[in-house]
Structure 1
Amino acid sequence: MATKVHNSGRKKIQVAPNAITNINMGDRSCIRDLAAKLNVSSSTSGRMIKRDDIKPHTNPLHPRCKEPNMLQMMEWVLDLLMGDTAQTKRFNAQGEWIFDGTLGILSFTYQEPAKRSYKYRGKGTIITKVVKSVGRKETRNMLINQIVPAIIQKWPPSEGPKVIFIQQDNVGSHISQTDEEWQQVHQ
């Protein structure tokens, strides 16, 4: 009795070799678009790429993240986070760098003692936790206790007193100029 071992299982979905080249380049810019044009699912087109039935390519303007590209991207992200741009740097009359525009990375966290012991730390050890929901109270606390003191500490004395605008982007947690706690610190 002959067995049909190789004929079992799900059959591969076959796509004609010229079917992909007949699709406009703009219509096959990603796996989902290609799958839609071939009338197959995106997972099927992904499997076809894995089997080397389709050869993926990357845009030369956005190459895959290799080591040099990752370093360049990380430097850009750190510059962005730290505010290291030409507009924020301040120089004195002699051309010396007196303020780089960075205040540091300030996070919405708090510290409290651990409630339970754990394999790596004991009960009562101070641990840092992330604020679950940032509201008006947390924003006011951040402005009053971290941002304003950082500005006062790092602002160069040679610049003298200036009006500094603190932009608040999160609509729900804006601090009003008439807020009493803010006015005490502001003055």
Structure 2
Amino acid sequence: MSNRSCQRDLATMLGISKSTVQRMAKRGDIRPHSNALKPALTPTDKKERLRWCLSKLIGDSPGTKRVYQSMYNTVMIDEKWFSLTKKSQMAYLEKGEKGAHIFAQSSKFIYKFMFNGAVAKPWYNAQKECIWDGRIDIFPFKYEEPTQRKSKYRKKGEMVTKVVERINRDESRKMLIQNIIPAIMAKWPNTDHHNTIYIQQDSAKAHTAIRSSMETIL
């Protein structure tokens, strides 16, 4: 299938013209298809996912477990890498307009920043009006340190912000305690402060284990 990634390659393989391929696609004889990359799950991972799904069912017996929990008290967190810029940017310009001048010291080594976002399920009242959108916040993995020497950009000892390049369990725990949990406490609706709030994360190795994170928080 890698040799059929575009209509031109398909026409070459079939020995026909590109216009014929376009007519075949218009008639529905061929169709575009995208293969998304799937996670490599082991049998243990599949069992754990199934066990997690079953734990969200409401009921005391297999016969009564037919409805899932609302999960209004669950906060989902996840990380995402963002590049400072791209090697090339596409834009439509009017006649005579010049494109933006973008530059970097190296096009091979572009700075990347990792952010951790936290969201919850939106809340609606009986009139189906959104009373809380569930947005907690998004936080960058960063730290500050003083400069070691004077330069034309800043003075010696001035605090500068730097990116955390390696995200491990210590950084994940620090993110939970210093940013995510205080943001949840500040933005969670006052009408539900008496209930337990759960933080759900995926199974990345750099994430904090449940026991260690709770011991640190306590």
Instruction: Give the TM-score of the pair, scaled to structure 1.
Output: 0.50
* Higher normalized strand content (fraction of residues): 2
In terms of Rg, which structure is larger? 1
Structure that is richer in helix per residue: 1
Higher relative contact order (CA 8 A, sep 6+): 2
TM-score by length of 2: 0.43
